[in-house]
Amino acid sequence: MVEQHTTAQTIALPPAGSPVAVRLICCAVDRPTRVASIDGSVIVLSRPYHPCRSVASGEHVSIVWSVDGQMVGTVGELREVPGRTPRWHVRVTDAVAPAERRGDPRFPVYALAIIRTEAGMIPAHVVDRSRTGLGCRTGGAARIERNAVVTVEIGDEVVRARVVRARPAGSSLDVGLRVLGEPD
């Protein structure tokens, strides 16, 4: 059994045959697939339906699955995507268990987004998500006010959210958003 260590607890990667959902940076939706095998820190997946474009080695992907009714996930890089073979090889770079104090566990994501505020558009990376929120990083010069209601575009997905956190994090701005629903 391959395990990844986290600060919350140790979780096992999903075994062969397990249903999982994957998301690439270009997709705004999770794509269902299954684990074909585990090879060390590489999860081999049956190639999911992916209409966006072809994928290349080195692209980031998030993988989520259920353990005892709780969503857990990992982030990795596509290690190789051989021609037309039916497998994706994802080298795991981080595994996450649900945080024990949260009602809605977060899991890692790597997706591009646009945050629309009254002042304009701010490019962002979504770094984690839960059932009720998103964690994002923007450039350090971005100005986002706490409690502001913003619109977030992740591919074709558009949601309204309230800013619950906006604090400097090195050269970035760490932004926490509570999802309110779809825009009016």
Structural domain boundaries in the chain: 3-96, 107-181
pLDDT band at 47 (very low <50, low <70, confident <90, very high): confident
Please, what is the Cα angle at 133 between 109 and 111, to 5 degrees? 25
pLDDT higher than 90, residue 147: yes
User: What is the distance between the alpha carbons of residues 132 and 159, in angstroms, rounded to a whole number?
Assistant: 11
Q: Residues near 83 by Cβ (< 8 Å), separated by ≥ 6? A: none
Q: Residues near 135 by Cβ (< 8 Å), separated by ≥ 6? A: 106, 126, 127, 128, 129, 174, 175, 176, 177
Average pLDDT over residues 154-176: 87
pLDDT higher than 60, residue 1: no
Percent of the chain whose predicted confidence (pLDDT) is above 70 = 77
pLDDT band at 37 (very low <50, low <70, confident <90, very high): very high
User: What is the distance between the alpha carbons of residues 111 and 137, in angstroms, rounded to a whole number?
Assistant: 11
Q: Choose between 119 and 29: higher pLDDT.
A: 119
Q: Choose between 31 and 4: higher pLDDT.
A: 31
Average pLDDT over residues 87-116: 72
Average pLDDT over residues 138-167: 89
Question: Which residue(s) pair with 168 in the sheet?
Answer: 173
- What local confidence, expressed as pLDDT, does residue 3 receive? 42
Percent of the chain whose predicted confidence (pLDDT) is above 90 = 19
- Which has the closest alpha carbon to 60: 19, 16, 28, 92? 92
Radius of gyration of the chain (CA): 17
Q: How far apart are the first and last CA of the chain?
A: 47
Average pLDDT over residues 8-19: 76
User: What is the distance between the alpha carbons of residues 48 and 62, in angstroms, rounded to a whole number?
Assistant: 13
Question: Which residue(s) pair with 91 in the sheet?
Answer: 42, 77
Q: Report whether CATH 2.40.10.220 matches the domain 107-181.
A: yes
Classify domain 3-96 by CATH architecture.
Answer: Beta Barrel (2.40)
